[in-house]
């Protein structure tokens, strides 16, 4: 079998592309590297750790549901918090109803919550797409256009740039990315991020970076590429192959926030790469736990429970044994965490077999979940809008 032409291994790592700063309205992003928003992951403690390692880029808060923000849901409001050290306060909104999303954007503006707003049109999760949201929404060009237009109008008044995150389409028979990119540009978005998979592809296989190149060639605004950046050389390869203006990193940094240091070094032509030993990883886990405890206003139990998934990622590949991993998953407070870390050998080197390798979800979706009759037309009827915009209590969960 021949080598996949999209593979980063086909690019010499010393071929460093020039990465110019990206201007998003009044905001300058000195190094266009983005921490992609991930539900349950990119709260401010994790963002702070990533930003401390990485360049002056965009470190985006996890998705906030517009209806939840309008309802003043406590969890949604907590997720809107930023640490004082964060250089650019970047927040992502998700909504289906243009009016509700506009109201959420107005709250962000009126209460000075963020410096930048990203709109989520890329989420492939069934509970989102079955309500017409996330990566399903660009198919309905009327709602897509109206939602962006309303949010941009609100944010422009406060000089807050708006960007959009999209996918290639629902599937390869229903691709929307070029049209969606042009609509976003025409309605005032300052940049577009493309995850180079369809909804149907979910997180499976290798994303098709050629589509990022197509979108870049088609638009005047900056294009960020997203998908399968597992190491610094992947970031270099994506830029060289597609000409994109920047890269967005998602699952690749789960349990390895130092990836941003490696990408920073790569774009500076520095060959140094961080692959910490187990002692250093424990130091990061400890700091992460302390920041989460602050995030949860001193509640160690909440903090340690939140940290559990991160610990599984931090320890991935290390030969620590199943019983140790189980013990970490049963920790209830900082003392428990310290006890388990004290049982580890800090001298164990970072396992080569997981360096720059995929992590997180890699499976294909079995089926794309959409509202009934969604693909029948590119615009919505009055009846469809009434169904979509009904007062769904799930929409205000967070």
SS (H, E, C) 275-312: CCCHHHHHHHHHHHHHHHHHHCCCCHHHHHHHHHHHHH
DSSP 181-204: HHHHHHTT-SEEEEESS-TTTTT-
| 92 sits in which H/E element | strand 90-94
Q: In this structure, what token pair is assigned to residue 301?
A: 């139990």
Catalytic residue among 80, 123, 244, 282: 123
Annotated catalytic residue 123: yes
- Is residue 375 exposed (0-12), middle (13-18) or buried (19+ Cβ within 10 Å)? middle
CA distance 277 to 264: 20
Q: In this structure, what token pair is assigned to residue 323?
A: 């019983």
10 Å Cβ neighbour count for 30? Answer: 14
| Residues 203/360, Cβ–Cβ less than 8 Å | yes
CA distance 261 to 284: 14
Catalytic (active-site) positions: 123
């Amino acid at each position: 079998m021949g080598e996949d032409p999209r593979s980063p291994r086909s690019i010499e790592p010393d071929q460093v592309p020039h990465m110019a700063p990206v201007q998003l309205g009044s905001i300058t992003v000195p190094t266009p590297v983005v921490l992609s928003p991930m539900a349950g992951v990119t709260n401010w403690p994790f963002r702070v750790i990533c930003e401390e390692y990485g360049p002056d880029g965009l470190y985006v808060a996890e998705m906030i549901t517009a209806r939840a923000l309008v309802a003043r849901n406590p969890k949604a409001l907590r997720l809107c918090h930023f640490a004082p050290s964060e250089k650019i306060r970047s927040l992502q909104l998700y909504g289906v109803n243009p009016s509700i999303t506009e109201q959420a954007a107005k709250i962000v503006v009126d209460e000075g919550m963020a410096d930048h707003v990203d709109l989520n049109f890329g989420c492939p999760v069934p509970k989102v797409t079955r309500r017409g949201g996330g990566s399903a929404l660009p198919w309905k060009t009327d709602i897509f256009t109206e939602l962006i237009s309303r949010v941009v109008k609100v944010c422009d008044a406060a000089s807050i740039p708006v960007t959009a995150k999209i996918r290639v389409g629902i599937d390869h028979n229903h691709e929307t990315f070029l049209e969606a990119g042009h609509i976003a540009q025409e309605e005032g978005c300052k940049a577009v991020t493309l995850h180079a998979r369809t909804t149907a592809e979910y997180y499976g296989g290798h994303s098709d970076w050629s589509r990022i190149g197509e979108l870049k060639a088609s638009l005047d605004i900056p294009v960020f590429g997203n998908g399968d950046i597992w190491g610094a050389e992947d970031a270099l390869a994506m830029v060289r192959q597609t000409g994109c203006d920047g890269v967005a990193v998602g699952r690749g940094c789960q349990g390895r926030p130092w990836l941003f240091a490696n990408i920073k070094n790569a774009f500076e032509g520095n060959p140094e790469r961080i692959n910490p030993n187990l002692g250093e990883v424990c130091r990061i886990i400890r700091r992460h736990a302390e920041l989460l405890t602050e995030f949860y206003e001193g509640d160690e139990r909440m903090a340690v429970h939140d940290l559990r998934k991160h610990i599984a990622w931090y320890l991935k590949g290390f030969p620590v044994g199943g019983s140790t991993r189980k013990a970490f998953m049963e920790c209830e407070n900082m003392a428990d965490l310290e006890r388990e870390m004290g049982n580890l050998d800090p001298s164990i080197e970072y396992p080569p077999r997981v360096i720059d390798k995929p992590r997180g979800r890699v499976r294909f979706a079995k089926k794309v979940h959409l509202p009934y009759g969604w693909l029948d037309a590119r615009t919505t009827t009055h009846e469809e809008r009434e169904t979509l915009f009904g007062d769904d209590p799930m929409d205000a969960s967070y």
